[in-house]
Amino acid sequence: MNRLTRTILCAALMGVPGIGAAQNLDLNVSGGSDDLRSELKDAMSLYALADAEETTPQALIAAAQADYERIVAALYGGGRFSPVVSIKVDGREAAEISPFEAPASINTILIEVDPGPRFQFGRAEIAPLAEGTEIPPEFQTGERAGTAPIRNAVTAGVTGWRNVGNAKARLAEQEIIADHPERALNVRLRLEPGPRLRFGEIGVSGNDRVRRTRIREIAGLPQGEVFDPQEIADAERRLRQTGVFGSVAVSEAETPNADGTLDLDVQVAEQKPRRFGFGAEVSTQEGGKLSAFWLHRNLFQGAERLRVEGEVSGIGTDSDEMDYALRLTYGRPATFTPDTDFFLTAGIERLNEPGFTSNQANIAAGLTQRFSDQLTGSFGLGYRYIDTEDAFGAREFQLLTAEFGAIYDTRNNTLNPTGGYYLSATGTPFLGLDDTESGLRFTSDARGYVGLGAEDRFVLAGRAQIGSVWGPSLGETVPDYLFYSGGGGSVRGVPYQSLGVTLPNGDFTGGQSFAGVSAELRATVRDNIGLVGFYDAGMITEDSGFGGDRDWHAGAGFGLRYNTGIGPIRVDIATPVTGDDAGRNYEIYIGIGQAF
């Protein structure tokens, strides 16, 4: 047998003054590939000591003795069950050297490994299994043997029983025999399902300010019902989503109760109840925007959230006035059901938009329902007062609103997705008071993402938006219910809300319908650096349902992304590709997260 030898010199392994350390660390692997040698190096603690500033002979002897087991475990994991391992310290086998009799200095440590042949599964049996349990396909006769497929098979078998209520299912017996002449690994695993259990008492520990009764309500564990590990995962998710707890864990009692129930303990660690923050955003057309918020996470000791936020936008633009907003949001989790949250919002706002200016006040209350990990819905009732001036003059509007919304989200990352899609739809029927007309406003947003290449180096992203208002005429529609196009949220490269409806007298206002599409090609050029090319287009029509005269515009450009732990920092440069300004003007947009 030819021996491939790889020698690694680690002259930096110096001991403390007066005590020498190993000057040569050699690894010889018979018939091994570079990948195998790399795996063994990663598994060994001797190589980890190579970077230590001070390494004593005693530490090297202890590491060498531990590395026998580490090397064998790594080889077993790769399906090699007849290895021969030798670790010699200055010619002596490390296993025979007492750590208390370590030499004053070590010159050479030689590791010799004969990994032996790879084994296949001869027999691969696991029983009994719960109905519907799927065992990993790599655990079957003829497949490459290894410890990982065995562990995965046990995990799948135990999980299958737990999913049907047998919470204490376990591996009761295992028989693993290596047939060296046949190079086969024969495995027989026997599971012990244990009894089918129900959820018992729900204890709470670690809480400080949040009441235990509210923690149980939010967790929503169904006491008395058949044990289900998904219920535990949902309980942990609900508690984390409140934002009140820094850590959440649900632990099971070691022993079931005599009545067939299993007690649980909900362990939590609370975060500080108060928090504040601020943000900034800038674009060449919309100007700068500053925002700040103050948050109380546990207002009435029931994980209720109160958030007060303010915003000033339009900073540095040519406009005479800036926009101001002050909003209050109250949220209460686990209202009526564990997955139903109550919300109350109120706010005042000053808007100075290209097509109108207005002073507004609003209040609304409603419920948000989580139907699954991907699907959420909401319903709310509210009142709005708007004092506005636009192309149709100075007017007042009063509305009673009902808002129905749904979001279906399968994106793998909300700030930087590389796969999945996002669908949202919102319908807002409104009843006009004091001569205000009634009607319905509808909006929808669809986004999709496809990753291409190794590790999704390239991503194709697309977006489509539509919206329309039915009921009132154009001149009787609340100005901020009308649609405009242009700017960072619709068509980059053209001025903010520059596309709308031009009336016969030359005045400018929004349209009753909008459609927009965007496409991006995102490429990762380095670990934290990405480039983006994009094209946006938008259309506005004068009438409901995309009737009447219509106009559209488009913009294109490129962007730079710098990935951070909280999402990519975005810088986009865009220019119009339609109209008289095509290719002449440009807009710059800066923010956090992808454009969509």
CATH value at residue 126: 3.10.20.310
Task: Say whether pLDDT at 3 is over 70.
Answer: no
- What string of H, E and C letters represents the secondary structure of 391-421? CCEEEEEEEEEEEEEEEEECCCCCCCCCCEE
The pLDDT mean for the chain works out to: 90
421 and 535 belong to one structural domain: yes
Structure confidence at residue 576 (pLDDT): 95
Pairing label, strands 340-353, 170-179? unpaired
Task: Say whether pLDDT at 28 is over 90.
Answer: no
462 and 536 belong to one structural domain: yes
- Bridge-partner residues for 124, per DSSP? 187
Which two three-digit tokens encode residue 439? 């009607």
Structure confidence at residue 33 (pLDDT): 76
Residue 19 pLDDT grade (very low, low, confident, very high; cuts 50, 70, 90):
very low
Q: Are 88 and 109 in contact (CB under 8 A)?
A: yes
Structure confidence at residue 15 (pLDDT): 31
Per-residue model confidence as pLDDT tens digits over 95-137: 998 877 878 888 888 899 999 999 999 999 999 999 999 999 9
166: left (phi over 0), alpha (psi -120 to 50) or beta: beta
Per-residue model confidence as pLDDT tens digits over 529-563: 999 999 999 999 999 988 888 899 999 999 999 99
Q: Which residues contact 317 (CB under 8 A, 6 or more apart)?
A: 285, 286, 287
Structure confidence at residue 227 (pLDDT): 97
Q: What is the DSSP letter of 154?
A: H
Cis peptide before 128 (omega within 30 of 0): yes
Task: Say whether pLDDT at 22 is over 60.
Answer: no
Task: Say whether pLDDT at 256 is over 90.
Answer: yes
Distance, in Å, from the CA atom of 399 to the CA atom of 431, rounded to the nearest integer, reads 6
Structure confidence at residue 16 (pLDDT): 31
Residue 53 pLDDT grade (very low, low, confident, very high; cuts 50, 70, 90):
low
310 and 325 belong to one structural domain: yes
409 and 283 belong to one structural domain: yes
Percent of the chain past pLDDT 90, that is, above it, reads 71
429 and 523 belong to one structural domain: yes
Structure confidence at residue 12 (pLDDT): 24
38 and 132 belong to one structural domain: no
CATH value at residue 291: 2.40.160.50
Task: Say whether pLDDT at 399 is over 50.
Answer: yes
Distance in angstroms between the alpha carbons of the first and the last residue of the chain: 59
Per-residue model confidence as pLDDT tens digits over 457-500: 999 999 999 999 999 999 999 999 999 999 888 999 998 889 99
Per-residue model confidence as pLDDT tens digits over 240-251: 999 999 999 999
462 and 562 belong to one structural domain: yes
Q: What is the pTM of this model?
A: 0.79
- Bridge-partner residues for 112, per DSSP? 28, 86
21 and 65 belong to one structural domain: yes
Mean pLDDT of 425-452: 96
Mean pLDDT of 361-386: 97
Structural domain boundaries enclosing 498:
274-592
Structure confidence at residue 311 (pLDDT): 94
Per-residue model confidence as pLDDT tens digits over 177-220: 999 999 999 999 999 999 999 999 999 999 999 999 999 999 99
Distance, in Å, from the CA atom of 221 to the CA atom of 112, rounded to the nearest integer, reads 55
SS3 545: helix
Structure confidence at residue 101 (pLDDT): 80
Structure confidence at residue 438 (pLDDT): 96
Which two three-digit tokens encode residue 434? 């004091």
Residue 318 pLDDT grade (very low, low, confident, very high; cuts 50, 70, 90):
low
Mean pLDDT of 66-87: 92
CA distances from 106 to 19, 138, 223, 309, 572 (A): 9, 44, 63, 66, 59
Pairing label, strands 501-502, 508-509? antiparallel
| Domain final position from 160, 192, 224 | 192
Torsion, Cα of 235, 371, 334, 380 (10° steps)? 160
Mean pLDDT of 353-378: 94
287 and 408 belong to one structural domain: yes
Structure confidence at residue 279 (pLDDT): 87
Q: Which of 11-20, 310-319, 365-374 has the highest mean pLDDT?
A: 365-374
Structure confidence at residue 319 (pLDDT): 60
Residue 432 pLDDT grade (very low, low, confident, very high; cuts 50, 70, 90):
very high
Return the higher-pLDDT residue of 298 and 21. 298
380 and 430 belong to one structural domain: yes
128 and 109 belong to one structural domain: no
Residue 1 pLDDT grade (very low, low, confident, very high; cuts 50, 70, 90):
very low
Structure confidence at residue 512 (pLDDT): 96
Percent of the chain past pLDDT 70, that is, above it, reads 94
Structure confidence at residue 463 (pLDDT): 98
108 and 145 belong to one structural domain: no
Q: Are 418 and 456 in contact (CB under 8 A)?
A: yes
Which two three-digit tokens encode residue 132? 């519907």
| Domain final position from 253, 270, 287 | 270
Torsion, Cα of 587, 592, 593, 596 (10° steps)? -40
Distance, in Å, from the CA atom of 223 to the CA atom of 7, rounded to the nearest integer, reads 62
| Domain final position from 192, 208, 234 | 192
Mean pLDDT of 25-29: 75
Distance, in Å, from the CA atom of 351 to the CA atom of 480, rounded to the nearest integer, reads 9
| Total of domains in the chain | 4
Return the higher-pLDDT residue of 4 and 468. 468
Residue 51 pLDDT grade (very low, low, confident, very high; cuts 50, 70, 90):
low
